[in-house]
Chain A
Amino acid sequence: MIQSFIKYSILAFIGSIAPAMVMNIEKRVLLWAGLGGMLGFCTAFAFNPSSLFFGMLQIFAGTLVVGIYSEIMAIFLKNPSTVFCISGIFPLVPGISAYQTMKFLVENNLNKAAFYAVDTALKAFTIAFGIMIVTALFRFIRRTGRKVP
């Protein structure tokens, strides 16, 4: 089990730095962005290590971790938090479910297409919502923190 955990976390690390490089991330923050993707994926994976097909709750937990990590790193590394967010959520994004929806539509298999379509929509909304919550929370903290002194 530990072995598969290590294997998948390394894969998630590669799977978030390689697309981040395609999106032309700065070299200075490359490894930190990969670490964020790894943390998010490991959080989601730790809830149910038997399967790689994540449920909604797992994805939500992973997204929250990625969001908090990227807000903290944005303060330390002086980069907008989007940089870490976009590369961090890459291993969680349901791109493959979207692809499978369309593939089953092309193959005229409407039952499976509907299943994957709902799956894609729910997961995408979950990720977007998780990022929103963290962003709003940090904005709130910053605003109240500034008023106190």
Chain B
Amino acid sequence: MQQKKILDIAVSAGSILLRFGAETYRVEDTIRRICKSYGLKCEAFVLPTGLFVSIEDEQGTSTICKRIPSRTVDLTKIAHLNDLSRRIERDKPEYNEVMNELGAISACETYSGPAMTLCFSLTAFAYTLLFGGNYKDGLCAMFVGALLYMVNSVFSKDVSFPFITYFAGGFAAAVMSSAAAGVFPGTNAYVVTVGAVTNMLPGVALINGIRDLLYGDSVSGLTKFGEAIMIVAVIAAGSGIGLALWIYGGSL
């Protein structure tokens, strides 16, 4: 197979992995393994925001640099790509077959909107109770969580910069929890906010950053760590401003 086609396969697979939340070492390992199974030597350099792959053989050297604009976590795509890379190693399939399969993986379906809304409200419910709220707080948090999903999907559709989504989410969660506490006396607005905001907190991103650090990928580890801290700060700022505005509005 041609050098260019192999490079194309390796970069497409790597960028899907990176875009959907795989660890850095897994991305580099997959790219290296794909190239090796077609009998080429390659160098892969993976950052959280992009990747460089370069292949060298008797035809010369070629390099591809690919930018990854946004990242989410998608466990199905990671699992399918893991299977595909094993299959490439074993059977060495043709270029078209692999590209078709990669297309199918990046187009694989996600859960529907109502299911996601339900997930957001269930998460809010469970964590409100785990943080010491009573059942009344939990029910309020379910509503706030469902509304939070709508705010999230409105703001993440047309993102000029990603942090605005988190800011809006924190702000909306604080305002809606305070409103709920006003309507149903006896609910603790703070616990409801905390439970609802758990949906957006980057706990897993924080752990993944530290895991990258422990694996020795210091650049991407520190980047993910810093990004997680920024996200938490933005959410806290949003909810702080929301709460302050609500109190200020109430005192007028």
Interface residues of A (CB under 8 A from B): 7-8, 11-12, 14-15, 18-26, 52, 78-80, 82-83, 86-87, 89-91, 93-96, 98-103, 105-107, 124-125, 127-129, 131-132
List chain B residues, Cβ under 8 A from A25: 75-76
The distance from the CB of B104 to the nearest CB of chain A, in whole angstroms, is 14
In the complex, chain B residues 62-113 whose Cβ is within 8 Å of any chain A Cβ: 72-79, 82-83, 110-111
The distance from the CB of A77 to the nearest CB of chain B, in whole angstroms, is 10
Interface class of chain B by DSSP: helix
Which residue of the partner chain, among B21, B132, B211, B239, contacts A132 with CB atoms under 8 Å?
A: B211
B130 touches A89 (CB 8 A): no
Which residue of the partner chain, among B78, B79, B201, contacts A98 with CB atoms under 8 Å?
A: B201
A96 touches B119 (CB 8 A): no
B130 touches A22 (CB 8 A): no
The distance from the CB of A147 to the nearest CB of chain B, in whole angstroms, is 20
B240 touches A107 (CB 8 A): yes
Task: Take A52-B130, A52-B131 as given contacts and tell me if A98 and B74 are in contact as well, using a CB distance cutoff of 8 Å.
Answer: no
Interface status of B120 (Cβ within 8 A of chain A): yes
Residue of B119, B131, B197 with most chain A CB atoms under a 10 A cut-off:
B119
A22 touches B116 (CB 8 A): yes
Q: Which chain B residue has the least Cβ–Cβ distance from A52? A: B130
Interface status of B129 (Cβ within 8 A of chain A): yes
B74 touches A127 (CB 8 A): no
A83 touches B232 (CB 8 A): no
B78 touches A18 (CB 8 A): no
B211 touches A131 (CB 8 A): yes
Q: Once bound together, how far apart are the Cα atoms of A127 and B239, in whole Å?
A: 27
A8 touches B130 (CB 8 A): yes
Q: Once bound together, how far apart are the Cα atoms of A98 and B115, in whole Å?
A: 28
